[in-house]
Amino acid sequence: MIEHLPALVIAIPLFGAFITPLFRKRYNLAALWAILISGLTLVLVLLLEYQVLTKGMMIYVFGADKPTLVLPSGYRVPIRIMFQVDGIGAFMAISAGLMSFVGAVYSYSHLQKETGLEKYYTLLLLLTAGILGMVLTGDLFNLFVFLEIASIAGSALVGFRNYRGEASEAGIKYLIVSSVASLMVLFAVGILYGQYGHLNLAYLSKQITFNPLDMIALGLLFTSFAMKCGSVPMHYWVPDAYTEVPSGINPPLLVSTYASLYALFRVSFTLFGKITIDMATVGWIMSILGVLTMFIGVTMALVQKDVKRLMSYHAISQTGYMLLGVGVGLTVFHDKQALIEFGRTAMAGGVFHIINHIIYKSLLLLTAGALFYVTGTRNLNEMGGLARKMPITTISFMVGAAAISGIPPFNGFASKFLIYEAVYKLNPLLAIFAMVTSILTLASFVKVFASAFLGPPLEKYEKVREVPKPMIVAMVILAALCVLFGLFPDFVLDKIVYPAVDALINFIQYQSWGGLA
Amino acid sequence: MSFTLLSGSGFWNPLLWLALLVFFALIGYIIYSRGNPSYKPNTDQVMPFLSGNVEPSKEKVQVKAGDIYWGFVEALKGYYKVLTAIHTGDMRDYILWYLGVGSIILFLLVGGA
């Protein structure tokens, strides 16, 4: 069974999604089914990570006699659909599995007053399958297909509360932005297929040259994935979508955004990794986009009054750190000495920040969902004095806010520490921007804490009580991870982050299908 | 298992930091425990002095989220004017920004080829 893990990781949530509509009007059963399926997916994903760590890259060929049969008789190149799971793919798959599970647990109580929940859970599992497909596939066209699955499921979930005009508008906006990005990805895939006649990422990465058509394909892929991951100035869809989506979907939707960031890294490092001259340019573009993203995101967050919108702008801002860290690594990608000296550490900081951010931002968005659940509003001006009424939500919020602001010993500090120190060596100004952003982040969350949780208890919230247990469980899991990842950063770096970074750096290993070619 | 995170030019040990945190928390507690003995909770002593005026209701004295950092936002009014102007919420602008950034990136990449 182990050898079929890459396929099972996709098949289980897909199977779960197609069965869920059978639980029509039995919403509790649909929720339990989604929790079961997402929990099983999480177990499979952890097994997959273990396999990749102990045995190396996993190759899965669909339709071949044996999964290890890469070269079908009579063909010089693989033509079948392949899943190629390396360190970075498995790293992203863990994030997807974990957040899908947390989202399903949280949704159990959070959405009890809603209808049409069998569709909601179907879409949640489809979104999970789409993200997992994006991060595990070794085929460029497959990447597009899974991107579409994730985008369509995601936009339907954003507009799930269709009785609210804002939700429908946000869903349509997300759908249009995703469609434009996907169309350009397809155009780039077409350019590469037209030239080389193949879609396999590893094979293409060996054939890619330096001609203008290849550069156009790189530009289209880069811009499209940058928009899908919410990079400034193409970030406008993020606050719309994150604010209106039900809070239980925020964690998987966040991973869906970072699946596009993964695709951006995969394209830059693996597909176009051997282009030596322009990689420094691409790295600088990524780093500058990163700085702009973090600064504009945080300054916009500071003036928001809607708690989820404020947190959404922070999601944009934190993406900047990832772009900056990995961008610095890409800038010195072909300078071996600089790569060893600080490039690899900068990339580790950026990649570590992906999972840290997924954890603490999901936690913060879940606490925002909890505030909405009890107060019925997202407007911070109308909240106050909730700390005594909701002690666990308050503590969870404090952990998340400390983590995102880079306060030790929480997880956000560990990754930001690596980014500051490594980025400083390329250009001190970049590190200064990153630190100023952290200070503004802290200021922004002090505002949320002061206005929602502190202050005198308000009469209108006299009868407010703590949120139901499933919502608490989801928040506590994430808060515990914030603390654990912060206390044992070296363990996390060694086990999942550096293998992911090395998978990006050693693109020759990817090109040879883990040594099978 | 190592608890020390190395960055190439520095290190970070969360356990050492926690030990220091506990130490300083203890010092803080000692200072707190030696506090003012004349303090009496739930008496007029703890009421705010408002020159004889009636104390407003709790809801009225609460500092709202919109008022926090008013000075900061006021000082950066010019910056925020531009920033809010580009966040139109109009779908056509979203796509225009995408096309604009895409054109610049393509120019940089193809121009360098």
H/E element, A85: strand A82-85
Residues 52-91 of A with CB under 8 A from B: none
Q: Residue A151 to residues A15, A143, A188, A461, B54: CA-CA distances in angstroms?
A: 19, 12, 18, 38, 57
B73 contacts: CB under 8 Å, gap ≥ 6: A302, A303, B80
d(CA A147, CA A79) in angstroms, rounded, equals 21
Residue in A313, A228, A259 with CA at minimum distance from that of residue A136:
A259
Residue written as token pair 């790293």: A91
pLDDT cut 70: percent of chain A above it: 96
pLDDT greater than 60 at residue A67:
no
A277 pLDDT band, cuts 50/70/90, is low
Q: What is the pLDDT, as a whole number, of residue A45? A: 97
The predicted-structure confidence for A74-102, as pLDDT tens digits, reads as follows 666 666 788 999 999 999 999 999 999 99
Q: Which residues contact A185 (CB under 8 A, 6 or more apart)?
A: A143, A144, A147, A220, A221, A224, A225
Tell me which amino acid residue A132 is.
L
- Helices A344-375 & A469-487 angle (0-180, nearest 10): 160
pLDDT per position as a tens digit, A452-483: 999 888 888 888 999 999 999 999 999 999 99
Grouping H, G, I as helix, E, B as strand and the rest as coil, residue A200 is strand
Q: What is the DSSP letter of A454?
A: S
User: Under 8 Å CB-to-CB from B12, ≥6 apart: which residues?
Assistant: A408, A413, A414, A417, A489, B4, B5
pLDDT given at position A509? 86
**Res A182 pLDDT > 70:** yes
Mean pLDDT rounded to a whole number for chain A? 92
pLDDT of residue A457: 83
Is a pLDDT exceeding 80 seen at residue A10?
A: yes
Among A426, A448, A108, residue whose Cα is nearest residue A309:
A448
Amino acid code (one letter) for A290: G
B residues 48..107 contacting A (CB < 8 A): 58-59, 61-66, 68-69, 72-73, 76, 79-80, 83, 86-87, 89, 91, 93-95, 97-98, 100-102, 105-106
Whole-angstrom distance, CA of residue A277 vs CA of residue A6? 35
Q: Is A275 helix (H, G, I), strand (E, B) or coil?
A: coil
What is the reported pLDDT for B1?
64
3-state helix, strand, coil in chain B (%, to 5): 60, 5, 35
Tell the residue number behind the tokens 């879940």, with chain if given: A366
DSSP sequence for A349-362: HHHHHHHHHHHHHH
Q: Which two tokens stand for residue A162?
A: 């269709």
pLDDT higher than 60, residue B112: no
Identify the pLDDT of residue A74: 60
Query: What is the C-alpha to C-alpha distance for residues A178 and A201, in angstroms, rounded to an integer?
Result: 22
DSSP strand E in A341-468: where? none
CA dist B105 and A261 (Å) reads: 17
What pLDDT, on the 0 to 100 scale, is given for residue A515? Answer: 65
Inform me whether the pLDDT recorded for B25 exceeds 60: yes
Query: Which residues, in sequence order, are bridge partners of residue B95?
Result: none
Which amino acid is present at A116?
G
Q: Does B14 touch chain A (CB under 8 A)?
A: yes
Place of tokens 């005009």: A165
Q: CA quadruple A241, A246, A247, A249: dihedral positive or negative? A: negative
Q: Is the pLDDT of residue A127 over 90?
A: yes
Phi, psi dihedral angles at A82 (to 5 degrees): -125, 145
Domain borders along chain A are 2-515
pLDDT category at A200 given cuts 50, 70, 90 is: confident
A391: contact with B, CB 8 A cutoff: no
B64 CB burial (10 A radius; 0-12, 13-18, 19+): middle
Q: What percent of chain A lies above the pLDDT cut of 90?
A: 79
Cβ-defined contact of B94 to A451 (cutoff 8 Å)? no
B-contacting residues in A 330-369 (Cβ below 8 Å): 341-342, 345
Q: What is the ipTM metric for this complex? A: 0.90
pLDDT reported for residue B113? 46
d(CA A475, CA A363): 6
Residues contacting A503, CB < 8 A, separation 6+: A57, A86, A87, A88, A89, A509, A510
Residue A61's DSSP bridge partners are A82
The predicted structure's pLDDT at residue A76: 60
Confidence of residue A502 (pLDDT cuts 50, 70, 90): very high
- Tally of CB atoms within 10 A around A379: 15
Cβ of A487 and B15 within 8 Å?
yes
Q: Which residues have a Cβ under 8 Å from the Cβ of A27 and sit 6 or more positions away?
A: A112, A117, A118
B11 touches chain A (CB under 8 A): no
Say which of A218, A233, A383 has its CB closest to residue B109: A218
Q: Write out chain A residues lying below 8 Å of B63, CB-based.
A: 450-451, 455
User: Closest Cα of chain A to B65: distance in Å?
Assistant: 5
**Exposed / middle / buried, residue A80 (Cβ in 10 Å: 0-12, 13-18, 19+):** middle
For B97, the closest chain A residue by CA position comes to A234
Which element (helix H / strand E) includes A314?
helix A307-331
Q: Tell me the HSE value of A305 on the side-chain side, using a 13 A CA sphere.
A: 14
Secondary structure element (H or E) that encloses residue A28, with its range: helix A27-55
Tell me what pLDDT residue B3 has.
77
Partnered with residue A84 across adjacent β-strands are: A59
